[in-house]
Amino acid sequence: MSPSTPPHFQQIHQSIVTCERCPRLRDYCRGIGETRRRAYQDEIYWAKPVPGFGDPRARILILGLAPGAHGANRTGRPFTGDGSGNFMYPILHELGLANKPLGVSREDGLKLRHAWIASVVRCAPPGDKPHPQEIRNCSEHLAAEVSALPRVRVVVCLGKIAWDGYLAHLLHTGLIAKRSDYTFTHGAEYLLPNGIRLLGCYHPSLRNTNTGRLDRPMFTRVFLRARELAGLKV
């Protein structure tokens, strides 16, 4: 983290990267970091839980599922070094939410503007399928980052697992009474009782982008709406 990062964010960062609550996920991430993919044989994998990153004064919170096994689990930063990030960051850059169109490493100079990116699970899960208890174990990290971002006006959930994870957080804090009032679809939009807008978007995984289930115009429209609702000039 940058020396200028507020102390409470540094504390949250440290709490996340040292977490050992889920033995299955920690063993999986460390194992991938030891064996590595052939294309990354010469790299040292991060192989620790991945904290969120972005603008501490963010008005938009972007929530994903979990680090990619050879993406964020390798680079240590959400959506960095994998196909999902290669799809997402150029669009965020075009919309003025990122200073560069590509994320390749923690030291590449990529910075977000008005946005913070995190995930509901901080370790790469086998098959991209975390167990329900693992999501619950990670909920404390999500709650800590949410509480440290008081300026957020819009939450964009990338995929149903992220959506459900955020709704679980809202239930736990007593902000909503039941999650069935909030149905995930691409382009879904809800006004939460605290005035924050909740938006749904398909996850920019290769499974979605390569099949056409999610394309650039669809993704762009969600984030144009997020910018508008956050009070940012387009």
- Please report which confidence band the pLDDT of residue 6 belongs to, taking 50, 70 and 90 as the band edges: confident
Interhelix angle 132-147/160-172, nearest 10 degrees? 70
**Residue 204: inside a domain:** yes
pLDDT at 101 over 70: yes
pLDDT in tens, 171-214: 999 999 999 999 999 999 999 999 999 999 999 999 999 999 99
Does 234 reside within a domain?
no
Residue 2 maps to a domain: no
For residues 87 and 79, what is the distance between their CA atoms, to the nearest angstrom? 9
Q: Is the pLDDT reported for residue 26 higher than 70?
A: yes
- Domain total of the chain: 1
Within a domain: residue 14?
A: yes
Q: Tell me whether residue 1 is in a domain.
A: no
Is residue 139 in a domain? yes
Give the per-residue pLDDT at 234.
57
User: What is the CATH number for 138?
Assistant: 3.40.470.10
- Residues 188/166, Cβ–Cβ less than 8 Å: no
Q: Which domain holds residue 182?
A: 7-229
Nearest-CA neighbor of 154 among 139, 166, 165? 166
Q: What is d(CA 205, CA 122) in angstroms, rounded to the nearest whole number?
A: 17
Query: Are 136 and 111 within 8 A, CB to CB?
Result: no
Is 42 domain-assigned? yes
- Single pTM value for the model: 0.95
Whether residue 218 lies inside any domain: the answer is yes
* Contact indicator for 63, 119 with CB cutoff of 8 Å: yes
Strand arrangement, sheet containing 154-158: 53-54, 115-119, 60-64, 154-158, 197-201, 189-191
Residue 130 has pLDDT above 90, yes or no: yes
